[in-house]
Amino acid sequence: MRKHNQYSEYSNWQVSALVILRVLIGWHFLYEGVVKVLNPHWSAAGFLNASQGPFANLFKGMASNSGVLEVINFCNQWGLVLIGLSLIVGLLSRWASIGGMVLLFLYYVSNPPFIGIEASAVAEGSYLIVNKNLIELFSLLVLYLFPTGSIIGLNRLFASRK
Amino acid sequence: MEEKKSNGMSRRDTIKALATLPVLGYFGYAYNANLLKIEEAKAQNYLERLKIDKIEVSEEKLSPPTGNSGNRIRFGVVGNGWRGEQLLKSLGYVHPDYVEDSSENGIPDKGMQKFLDQEDLNVEFAAVCDTFEVHTRRGVEISANDLRPFGKKRDPKPAKVFSSYKEMIASDDIDAIIIATADHTHAQIAIEAAKAGKHIYLEKPMTHSIEEAVELRKVIKDTGVVFQLGHQNRQQMSFKIANELYEKGVFGDVSMVQVYTNRNTVFGAWIRDDAFDHKLGNKDNINWEEFLGNVPLCEFDRKKYFSWQRYSEFGTSITGNDLSHQFECMNQVLKLGIPETVVALGGQYYYKHHGDMPDVFNAVFNYPERGLTMTYDGNLKNDAYRPSRILGSAGTVDVDRAILMYKDNHTDRYKDIILDPSDPFYYYAPDDDVDAISSATSQVYMKGGYGPTTIDGKTVEATLLHLKEWVDAIRGQGKPSCDVDAGFEEAVTFNLANLAYEHKKVVTWDKVNEKAIIG
């Protein structure tokens, strides 16, 4: 971990922008997670079955095994909720950034907007290589490299105790 | 200066640490105030939403194989063209060329693997008859190829060649017949086969005229042979589900049915003088007289022989080729039956030197007793794809291999369901991986629901299931789903449209006397 005194190198505007980005991405994750947790019929099966591209068979395979699917459903929905909460309140948000990147990477490769792959039913629109998942993934990388939890966020409570 | 508390935290620290927590409060408020309602509606079980208990057909199982060592069915093929070979593949027979093209270093490709894994219907390709020598020979080669599903190698006895379908029907070498000839010969071959007690799988469309349809239906009923018309959409899960949803009132009152077919290639327009292996055809290797059947004798014409669909003495126009499919699917879903009146307009505006087939065609079919009309738009100069659309009082439903329903904004049935009107209300799509399809015609074929279907969690060719149903019925298990009554409705409906087009008049169906009244 970086020393927190380095954080002071951020200007107030930089801190504000980073915290707002963190909260927005957190909101997005939290909402996606809560919606799934509260929907008794939600399952990742539809998304996995719609998988295309080089790893399609792997993702479809996951959907076809009910045990694996149950684990995926659980990890995905609660992962989304915890990552969302963590980013919003600024607690362990670097770990949350990593977790978020892993999930987004999986979403990305299961339906990659590559040349020659038809826009799938689960995609929001059509993209060329870069889609919103990829942008959110790299936004989380920025948040990981420029953490703000100890400036504005619950991490500050622990950081200050030193 | 900030005053530090005993734990080392200033007030400013605390405020900064907790600064984003109110966001969570707002999230909770927003979620409860607005989103919860919408998400509740989304989360609602789709059956509750459709207000039905269950969809029974989606629980259907594949019926077990009926074949055993004592009940092998010997069949003959009349008309071993491209469709004939497709049917043979479903029956477990492929040409050695196909085996070679579909495997590399002895490893079968995906299509070949599917063939090897498909159900063995326990049938024997015993006889072949084609008016084109090249196709007869291919038939024999196919029958002699010993590679069968599951690698079974039965004694590869070559199919017996008959130069006339009449001899094949009269022989004791076959129990059943597969007819995949030009449309004008469907009825005559099927009628004679039924009279000889042979079970019949007849390619669509059923007959070239209404009179033939009346006669064929009578003969099939009198003889009691097992008859299946080759509309394999009957096996397609999407149409089965759509039918159940309709009967359970999910669509409400249906006031309009819209069907379309569009093509924009020379091949798609059935100009096939040089398609496939047709370049090999000439006066010496084509039995022209046998091909003509009941058509008055005329001089050999290669174009007419290979592009017969475009000539009304042989083919049944864009309606017999394309509308017959679309109508059959809608007849399966809605049990439409035969329309009371039909009007049709259009013309042969583009492919003027190829027979007399219209390339722009519109028809309206009126069903007063049902309170609905069906429209058909057919076109050979544009290839826009449109699924069939059912306009119901409770929703608008697009049906092909998939189902996509939007609820009607003004229906009482679903007024309690809060849903963005632009969101699909119900969606069904088969759960499979269809191979990448290249040509426009075959893409439409797949999307239209004539390719594979999903049943019992498995992906199976609809044609295979349709043949299986026929073979099982011959063995006394179940009934064909596209029987002669369904075929009768298909044949009469599209022939009424052809008469309306030909005479440029309203055509009325006299259901008592089973005749078309023109004007």
Residue B5 has a pLDDT of 55
Q: Which residues contact A73 (CB under 8 A, 6 or more apart)?
A: A36, A42, A43, A44
A40 close to B (CB below 8 A) = yes
Q: What pLDDT was estimated at residue B35?
A: 64
> Chain-centre distance of CA B6, in angstroms?
80
Q: Under 8 Å CB-to-CB from B466, ≥6 apart: which residues?
A: B228, B230, B231, B232, B234, B235, B481, B482
- From B13, which residue of chain A is nearest by alpha-carbon distance? A156
Residue B417 within a domain: yes
CATH code for position B260: 3.30.360.10
Q: What is the pLDDT of residue A126?
A: 72
* Chain position carrying tokens 């669909």: B309
| Residues whose CB falls within 8 Å of the CB of residue B344, separated by 6 or more in sequence, listed in order | B361, B362, B363, B364, B497, B498, B500, B501
Each residue's pLDDT tens digit, B436-459: 444 666 667 777 778 888 888 888
In a domain, A19, yes or no: no
Residue A23 lies in a domain: no
Q: Mind listing the pLDDT tens digit for each residue in B74-125?
A: 999 999 999 999 999 999 999 999 999 998 887 888 889 899 999 999 999 9
What separation in angstroms does the CA of B196 have from each of B51, B176, B201, B471?
Answer: 50, 10, 14, 18
What confidence category does residue A8 fall into, taking pLDDT thresholds of 50, 70 and 90? low
The upper half-sphere exposure of residue B177, i.e. CA atoms within 13 Å in the direction of its Cβ, equals 31
Which pLDDT does position A2 carry in this prediction? 43
Residue carrying structure tokens 């071993």: B80
Residue B150 lies in a domain: no
Residue identified by tokens 């010969």 is B185
B32 belongs to a structural domain: no
Contacts of A21 in chain B (CB under 8 A): none
Put simply, the chain B residues between 39 and 58 with a CB less than 8 A from any chain A CB are 39, 42-43, 45
**What is residue A89's predicted lDDT score, i.e. its pLDDT?**
95
User: What tens digit of pLDDT does each residue of B123-151 get?
Assistant: 999 999 999 999 999 999 999 998 888 77
Q: Is A60 on the interface with B (CB under 8 A)?
A: yes
pLDDT for residue A67 = 86
Output the pLDDT for position B453: 86
Q: Is the pLDDT at B236 greater than 90, yes or no?
A: yes
* A102 located within any domain: yes
B23 CB near a chain A CB, below 8 Å?
Answer: yes
- Tell me whether residues A156 and B39 touch, CB distance under 8 A: no
Cβ burial, residue A40 (10 Å; 0-12/13-18/19+): exposed
- State the Cα–Cα distance between residues B32 and A97, nearest whole angstrom: 27
The answer as to whether A80 is a domain residue is: yes
* B419 or B70, greater pLDDT: B70
Write out the two tokens for B296.
């008055």
The answer to whether the peptide bond before residue B205 is cis (omega within 30 degrees of 0) is yes
pLDDT of residue B434: 46
Give the dihedral of Cα atoms B209, B210, B212, B218; nearest 10 deg. 160
Rounded distance, CA B238 to CA B244, Å? 10
Structural domain count of chain B: 1
Is residue B486's pLDDT more than 90?
A: yes
The confidence band for B395, taking pLDDT boundaries of 50, 70 and 90, is very high
> Are the beta carbons of A153 and B19 separated by less than 8 Å?
yes
**Is pLDDT of A42 > 90?**
no
Tell me which of A8 and A20 has the higher pLDDT.
A20
Specify whether the CB–CB gap between A52 and A117 falls below 8 A: yes
- Cα–Cα dist B93/B121, whole Å: 11
**Number of domains composing chain A:** 1
Nearest CA distance, B131 vs chain A (angstrom): 43
Give φ, ψ of B509 to 5 degrees.
-90, 120
Determine which of B28-42, B167-181, B269-283, B406-420 has the lowest per-residue pLDDT on average: B28-42
Answer whether residue A14 is part of any domain.
no
- Rounded to an integer, the average pLDDT of B257-282 is 95
Of all residues in chain B, the one with the smallest CA distance to A156 is B17
Q: Quick one: average pLDDT of B31-58?
A: 75
Query: Is B437 within a domain?
Result: yes
B 409-438: CB under 8 A from A: 429, 431, 433
Residue B240, domain extent: 234-269+318-459+482-518
Banded pLDDT at B334 (limits 50, 70, 90): very high
| Structural domain contains residue B352 | yes
pLDDT at B9: 75
**Lookup: tokens for A117:** 């792959």
Which residues contact residue B275 at a Cβ distance below 8 angstroms, ignoring those fewer than 6 apart?
A: B267, B306
A150/chain B closest Cα distance in angstroms = 7
Closest CA to B77 of B157, B142, B151: B142
Smallest Cα–Cα separation from B190: which of B154, B155, B216?
B216
Q: Which of residues 104-123 of A touch B (CB under 8 A)?
A: 121
Selected residue of A21, A51, A82, A88 to mutate for chain B interface (largest B Cβ count, 10 A): A88
- Residue B388 belongs to some domain of the structure: yes
Q: CA B496, CA B487: separation in Å to the nearest integer?
A: 14
Find the mean pLDDT for residues B54-62: 91
Choose between B9 and A131: higher pLDDT.
A131
Give CA–CA dist B151/B120, Å, rounded.
10
Contact A85, A154 (CB under 8 A): no
Q: Are B43 and A155 inside 8 Å of each other by CB?
A: no
Are A35 and B39 an interchain contact pair (Cβ–Cβ within 8 Å)? yes
Instruction: Give the residue numbers spanning the domain of A155.
Output: 35-159
Whole-model pTM: value is 0.75
Q: Is residue A142 part of a domain?
A: yes
Cα–chain center distance at B455: 16
Residue B453 lies in a domain: yes
Q: A160 touching B, CB under 8 A?
A: yes
Mean pLDDT of B465-488: 97
Whether residue A39 and residue B16 make contact (CB cut-off 8 A), yes or no, is no
Closest among A104, A102, A90, A107 to A143, alpha carbons compared: A90
Three-state SS for B452?
A: strand
Residue B1 pLDDT greater than 50, yes or no = no
As a whole number, mean pLDDT of residues B389-410 equals: 94
pLDDT score, position B437: 42
Q: 3-class DSSP state for residue B344?
A: strand
Contacts of A121 in chain B (CB under 8 A): 429
Q: How far is A22 from A30, CA to CA, in rounded Å?
A: 12
| Within-domain flag for A20 | no
Q: Does A89 reach chain B within 8 Å, measured CB to CB? A: yes
Residue B432 pLDDT level (bands cut at 50, 70, 90): low
Pick the closest to residue B315 from B325, B328, B304, B331 (CA basis): B304
In a domain, B260, yes or no: yes
Q: Please tell me the distance from the alpha carbon of residue B220 to that of residue B229, in angstroms, as a whole number.
A: 12
Reduced to 3 states (helix: H, G, I; strand: E, B; else coil), residue B74 is strand
Least confident of A6-10, B363-367, B513-517: A6-10
Q: Is the pLDDT of residue A7 over 70?
A: no
pLDDT category of residue A39 using cuts at 50, 70 and 90: confident
What is the rounded average pLDDT of the residues B152-160? 81
Q: How far is the alpha carbon of A16 from chain B, nearest alpha carbon, in Å?
A: 11
Tell me: pLDDT of A122 over 70: no
- Selected residue of B10, B11, B18, B20 to mutate for chain A interface (largest A Cβ count, 10 A): B20
Q: Looking at residue B38, what is its pLDDT?
A: 62
Q: What is the ipTM of this complex?
A: 0.82
A152 and B16 within 8 Å at the Cβ level: the answer is yes
